[in-house]
Amino acid sequence: MKTLTVTLSALAVVAGLTFAAPEAEAQTAARVESQTRPNFGLLLDPPASRARPQRQPRRWNYGTHRPDWRPGYQPPYGGPIHPGGEEVVLVDCGGNPGTGAVENAVMRVRPGGTLVIRARAGACVGWLNVDKPMTIIGEGGFDPRRWNETTPAVLQAPDGMPCITVSSGVRLELRDIVLSSPHGGDAACIVSYGGSVVANRLAIRHAGDEAAIYADGGEVDLRDTIIDARTISPAIHADGATLTTWEAVITGSQSGIEILTGGSGQPSRIDSTTITGADVNNGFGPRSIGLLVRSRRELGRVDVTNTKICGFSEGVAVEGASLNVSNSKICRADRGAIVYNGELTLTDSRIRAQAVGVAVSGRAIVRNNTFVGVREVFQRDYRSNLDASGNRVWSDQLCRPRWEPRYRDRYAPQWYQRPDQGYDCQFSPYPRDWWDEMDGAYGDPYSPYSYMPDNYGRFQQGYGWYDSNGRYIDDSSSRGDDRWRR
């Protein structure tokens, strides 16, 4: 009986395996078929890649410049960094390039402290990465007006690297020092990422492809400062940063200042500043503009007062922003002011341009200005909105008389001016002292910019007349109105 029971159980197991084998084979085949069958819906609409875009590496990196520099660690032993506890640090690093003395001195200064640079044996060479509020002073003082007569402290950037970089939210004060970047390459001399740079009695010598000062947000305040920037870029590029200049001189660059408004700060202000261009032909390369104001998302404003802008193809240009210019001088330009779009207010200023005084495609208010040597005072298109009044013009091309026939082949000069043209022609010579303040200061010969017909004084006394080509015909036989009767 036991044998029969075991036999029946074995038969049942074998039967179960016999019936389960086809079902297992069917599941395996279905799984393989589902994996190999093409998904046409996926092919037509593939999912977007979830890989994060790769960021472009920086042109220069502080870690490469200083391998021992590690944010958050104190080399060479590690551990949390102690920002330094010295209130005043004096470093004498002149004549010892590459030692890292000036960079180490920055680490020793406590937040809010002062770094004094002494460079008796030559320039201090180094790149200062300022990540805490501090003041940097050059020993011995510095007068920018007597740049070549003194020997100030000089901080020189390594080739292809900045002089100073300022972190976000950090306030840096610079006084009585010269910053030099003779081989800047793709690096600006001062780079600020949302920091605050305040300079007084500062000089910058920069040669490279980038701006001398690049500020991405934050603020830049320059007072009693000289910038000699040999670059095709603007000498100062403020991207969303608030720029303030007073008693500043900017020379050498193909473009002077470029401001991108729309930041959260106050309007930029340029006061008592001189901006002189390289006076190059603008037939190729970037545009030569003394002051370019552009907007981002918001309509920002820039105020310019008591400023001289000379040596650029375009004196000032506005693209989508608001620019107020008053009591200023624009000289040695092809076009004095251009409004591509946005707003321009130009008042109580003198503009010396060869072609056009103001070209308007947006909105412009032009009142009580002086235009010199222009072939056309206003150039406007169908979109422009121009409000012009009280302007005076000295131009021997624009303010020429028409020859009006009076009797047979006898003509008299007549000047016509429309009351709605927004300006009045001036017939007296352009003031010599005004010329000396503008173009004359750069060695250009004086020109009166006034057209007066030959022997016009004798004509006004009642003698002679002119022919149709403006040549004077002298005649003493008739005088006054008698010359128009016989």
Rg (the chain; Cα; Å) = 37
Calculate the CA 261 to chain-centre distance.
11
The yes-or-no verdict on residue 336 having pLDDT over 90 is: yes
Looking at residue 65, its pLDDT comes to: 61
Looking at per-residue confidence, does 420 or 332 come out higher?
332
- pLDDT band of residue 17 (cuts 50, 70, 90) is very low
The whole-number average pLDDT for the span 348-358 is 96
pLDDT digits (tens, 9 = 90+) for 21-30: 445 455 566 5
Looking at residue 28, its pLDDT comes to: 61
Q: What percent of the chain has pLDDT over 70?
A: 79
pLDDT digits (tens, 9 = 90+) for 82-103: 556 789 999 887 666 667 888 8
Q: Which amino acid is at 233?
A: S
Length of the chain equals 486
The yes-or-no verdict on residue 54 having pLDDT over 80 is: no
Across the chain, mean pLDDT equals 83
The yes-or-no verdict on residue 2 having pLDDT over 80 is: no
- pLDDT band of residue 61 (cuts 50, 70, 90) is low
Q: Please, what is the Cα angle at 84 between 141 and 115, to 5 degrees?
A: 5
How far apart are the C-alpha atoms of 201 and 143, rounded to whole Å? 6
CATH code linked to domain 86-370+378-384: 2.160.20.10
pLDDT digits (tens, 9 = 90+) for 262-296: 766 689 999 999 999 986 655 556 789 999 999 98
| Those residues with Cβ within 8 angstroms of residue 86's Cβ, 6 or more apart along the chain or in another chain | 108, 109, 110, 113
| Those residues with Cβ within 8 angstroms of residue 215's Cβ, 6 or more apart along the chain or in another chain | 190, 191, 192, 197, 236, 237, 238, 239, 241, 243
Q: Is the dihedral of CA 110, 116, 120, 124 positive or negative?
A: positive
Looking at per-residue confidence, does 211 or 41 come out higher?
211
Looking at residue 27, its pLDDT comes to: 58
240-to-56, 214, 215, 261, 325 alpha-carbon distances in Å: 22, 11, 8, 5, 20
- pLDDT band of residue 34 (cuts 50, 70, 90) is low
Q: Please, what is the Cα angle at 214 between 208 and 220, to 5 degrees?
A: 135
- pLDDT band of residue 119 (cuts 50, 70, 90) is confident
Domains of the chain, residue spans: 86-370+378-384, 454-486
pLDDT digits (tens, 9 = 90+) for 218-266: 999 999 999 999 999 999 999 999 999 999 999 999 999 999 997 666 8
172-to-82, 113, 137, 169, 194 alpha-carbon distances in Å: 19, 10, 11, 10, 12
Beta strands at 465-466 and 472-473: parallel, antiparallel or unpaired? antiparallel
